[in-house]
Structure 1
Amino acid sequence: MNSQIKISEIPEAKIVSGTLFRVSEFPSKYITPRTVDIWLPKGYSKTKKYAVLYMHDGQMLFDASTTWNKQEWMADEVASELMMSHKTKDFIIVGIHNISETRYADLFPKKTINYLNDEEKTAFLAYAKTDKPHLEFKGDDYLKYLVKEIKPYVDSHFSTLKNQENTFVAGSSMGGLMSWYAICEYPDVFAGAACISTHWPGANPELDGPFPKAFFSYIKANMPDPETHKLYFDFGTKTLDQYYPQYEEYVNTLFLNAGYTTTNFKNEKFEGADHSEASWQKRLDIPFIFLMTK
């Protein structure tokens, strides 16, 4: 596998700090290959070891000049500032690009479909395939891609802390769903997850669908140990985020009843924030500090 991987620095990337490397089609035996970016902080040295944050929708993280909506997370700016001010440990960011045509099915927590009754499952699958009749839910394969193919490559080619305590995952919207799914499915791999503007409805939020009940049932049955994990959630109140505040109390109860406390669980409300990279960049320091505190 590694012999197939061609990695190169992207000197033209409009980043403020650090260095961006790219594998244009990171190969896989599980899922359609896609671009993977590896961002190294300024001063990166092979004599040091770095924590690693894996982030979904990787093409939206660093360079607004190349994104579809000309917005970005400003992940390099935020991470650099936090490291420079010693508010976090030193870390690398790995951004896994999405494929727009299959993003929904790739980032959907596949095993949660089994928490629907037969009628709900039939209706949901019919709804999901309305526009894309050949849609395949590949969330489990996406996680295998991340855990079994991308992570070993990153750990072998960069100076990383390979252990669970220094491995994290983050994303927004569908990526928020996939982030808590990742830590539930692979609790021995990930110590923390940041689930930003988590798309709890799971589908069209204007429909009274069977999710999020199925999500909550799955999480309850697969809850990561609060002794060794931390989870961050948040939501705004505008555009698509207007549909998320109704789940605040249930999410809080779910995790606090499982033994989480304010030190390893957060569910933050951002009044007036909408569902966009412009909103997420303004508060990205909060989940970064939460996950990466020294």
Structure 2
Amino acid sequence: MKHRRWFPALFLCAAIGAVSASTLPHVSSGRLVRHNDVPAHGVPERTIDVWLPSTYDGKRQHDVLIMHDGDMLFDARLTWNNQEWQVDEVAGQLIDAGHVRPFIVVAVPNAGAARHAEYFPQQPFMSLTVDTQQALYDVQRDENVPLFAQPVYSDAYATYLVKDVLPYIEQHYAVNTAPSSRILAGSSMGGLISWYTLTRYPDSFGGAICMSTHWPGAMQPQHPAFDAFYTYLQAHLPTLKDKRLYFDYGDETIDAWYPPLQQRIDNLLQANDIPATQWTSRYFAGANHSEQAWAARLDVPLRWMFASAEASATR
């Protein structure tokens, strides 16, 4: 028997993708460049948008922020729910004011119907019992529309970011190539794939921004997937001691599920002596699970992750 679930629209934010993948989003700060020829091995092909701040002149090297759900970042007119992260406005203001080191944003669109399969951490998924895995595959996010359009393949997605996207970006743009200069970022399922990719390729990235991380993994407040995430993360903490981890969460709509789970993750980091300077966990009372909520606090993780030398000296 199929396990049918009817999910709030807020959880589906970013799952459907942009209204028109052929229309270049409008940005009010910096400029956006679209690339249709980025290699894609093992994952569905897609266009990649690169946001360049006003400081980018092709000579000065910039850091790199890779953001998942890239079709939801810049232009609310083109998104399924008429919301956006306001990345160009927020990042542009911070960079122009000298509050953060200059960085470019690599906006990687999700895989549409396959988003859940692409973002669900694969090794924790494989550690679940066969029955639990099948129960997840049986869940429907809409009538006759499965939550997982295909088997989980997030390992291939993480490899795609490292083996295809990063080399392409470094070939076409003046960017810092040190791992510490490359950061991953996403929300909800994008939060999961951000920290997971960091554990799969700790030598390729310096940190992960995980906003409203969907710790249940499933469409209910408690699920065995969380214990699988917890166990996997615990085993991989030694590889993260020199990385930077940002977590945050609200307490409205689906974010109401996250406080007790995020607290367990925070306790895990503390118990394993992850340096306090290397991670932070922020609670935003009254914040819900939406692009508007993430846009309203996006400056917080960007300031924390990309703090300029001048900004750090004044703290």
Q: TM-score, normalised by structure 2?
A: 0.85
Q: Are the counterparts in 1 of residues 91 and 302 from structure 2 also a CA contact under 8 Å?
A: yes
What does the per-residue CA deviation read over 1:69-104, in whole Å, with 9 as the maximum and x for residues that have no partner? 111101111111111221111100001001221001
Amino acid at match of 2:257: Y
1:110-189 correspondence runs (5 A): 110-127=122-139, 131-132=145-146, 135-189=150-204
- Name which of 6, 18, 23 aligns with 2:35: 23
Query: Quick one: distance in 1 between partners of 2:240 and 2:41?
Result: 33
Residue 224 of structure 1, CA deviation: 5.2
Structure 1, 42-51 or 170-179: larger mean CA deviation? 42-51
Partner in structure 2 of residue 248 of structure 1: 262
Amino acid at match of 1:190: F
Amino acid at match of 2:125: I
What does the per-residue CA deviation read over 1:112-135, in whole Å, with 9 as the maximum and x for residues that have no partner? 113324443343344479843862
What does the per-residue CA deviation read over 1:121-164, in whole Å, with 9 as the maximum and x for residues that have no partner? 34334447984386221101111111100110000100000110
Structure 1, 122-131 or 274-283: larger mean CA deviation? 122-131
Q: Does 1:217 align with 2:217?
A: no
Query: Quick one: distance in 2 between partners of 1:216 and 1:183?
Result: 15
1:40-59 correspondence runs (5 A): 40-59=52-71
1:54-65 correspondence runs (5 A): 54-65=66-77
Q: Are the counterparts in 2 of residues 183 and 224 from structure 1 also a CA contact under 8 Å?
A: no
Question: How many residues are paired up?
Answer: 284
Query: Quick one: distance in 2 between partners of 1:169 and 1:23?
Result: 19
Residue 11 of structure 1, CA deviation: 10
Residue 17 of structure 1, CA deviation: 0.8
Query: Quick one: distance in 2 between partners of 1:23 and 1:37?
Result: 6
Partner in structure 2 of residue 7 of structure 1: none
Residue 16 of structure 1, CA deviation: 1.3
- Name which of 75, 83, 86 aligns with 2:98: 86
Structure 1, 171-180 or 247-256: larger mean CA deviation? 247-256
Cα separation, partners in 2 of 1:259 and 1:63, compared to 1, 3 Å: same
> Matched residue of 1:52: which SS?
strand
Task: Show structure 2 runs of 5+ residues with no match.
Answer: 1-21, 309-315
Amino acid at match of 1:260: I
Q: Are the counterparts in 1 of residues 39 and 165 from structure 2 also a CA contact under 8 Å?
A: no
Instruction: Give identity over the alignment, percent.
Output: 37
Residue 238 of structure 1, CA deviation: 0.6
- Name which of 94, 104, 108 aligns with 1:96: 108
Q: CA RMSD in A?
A: 2.1
Cα separation, partners in 2 of 1:89 and 1:213, compared to 1, 3 Å: same
Q: Are the counterparts in 2 of residues 226 and 258 from structure 1 also a CA contact under 8 Å?
A: no
Query: Quick one: distance in 2 between partners of 1:114 and 1:106?
Result: 14
Query: Quick one: distance in 2 between partners of 1:258 and 1:90?
Result: 32
Structure 1, 180-189 or 128-137: larger mean CA deviation? 128-137
> Matched residue of 1:142: which SS?
helix
Query: Quick one: distance in 1 between partners of 2:288 and 2:178?
Result: 35
Amino acid at match of 1:169: L
Partner in structure 2 of residue 72 of structure 1: 84
Q: Are the counterparts in 1 of residues 70 and 107 from structure 2 also a CA contact under 8 Å?
A: yes
Q: Are the counterparts in 1 of residues 51 and 106 from structure 2 also a CA contact under 8 Å?
A: yes
Q: Does 1:237 align with 2:237?
A: no
Q: Which runs of 4+ in 1 moved over 6 A?
A: none
Q: Does 1:205 align with 2:220?
A: yes
Structure 1, 237-246 or 116-125: larger mean CA deviation? 116-125
Partner in structure 1 of residue 284 of structure 2: 270
Cα separation, partners in 2 of 1:28 and 1:11, compared to 1, 3 Å: closer
Partner in structure 2 of residue 3 of structure 1: none
What does the per-residue CA deviation read over 1:201-227, in whole Å, with 9 as the maximum and x for residues that have no partner? 001125x42120000101011125454
Query: Quick one: distance in 2 between partners of 1:145 and 1:62?
Result: 23
Q: Are the counterparts in 2 of residues 128 and 135 from structure 1 also a CA contact under 8 Å?
A: no
